[in-house]
Amino acid sequence: MLDGELAKLDNVTLYTFLLPWISPDRAAAETAWERAVPERAHDTAVLDRNLRLATQVGLRGTPLLIAGDGRLSEGAKPAAELEAWLNAGEQERAPNPSPTAEETP
Structural domain includes residue 86: no
Segments forming the whole domain that contains residue 47 = 2-70
Average pLDDT, the chain: 78
**Does 96 reside within a domain?**
no
Measured CA angle at 50 (ends 48, 91), to 5 deg: 165
Can you list the alpha helix ranges (DSSP code H) found in 2-78? 2-7, 26-36, 45-57
Q: What is the pLDDT of residue 64?
A: 85
Note whether residue 85 is domain-resident: no
Count of domains for the chain: 1
Tell whether 95 is covered by a domain: no
Q: Is residue 44 part of a domain?
A: yes
**C-beta neighbour count of 84 within 10 angstroms:** 11
Per-residue pLDDT at 51 exceeds 90: no
| CB distance 64 to 46 below 8 Å | no
- For residues 4 and 104, the model is more confident at 4
The reported pLDDT for the residue numbered 18 is: 73
Q: 92: helix, coil or strand?
A: helix
Q: How far is CA 38 from the centre of its chain?
A: 22
**Position 14: which residue type?**
L
Considering the domain boundaries, does residue 60 fall inside one? yes
In a domain, 82, yes or no: no
Is 76 among the domain residues?
A: no
The answer to whether residues 76 and 5 touch, using CB atoms and an 8 Å cutoff, is yes
pLDDT, tens digit (0-9, with 9 covering 90-100), for 53-97? 888 888 877 788 888 888 988 888 999 999 999 988 776 655 544
> Rounded to 5 degrees, what are φ and ψ at 72?
-115, 145
Local confidence band at 20 (pLDDT 50, 70, 90 cut-offs): low
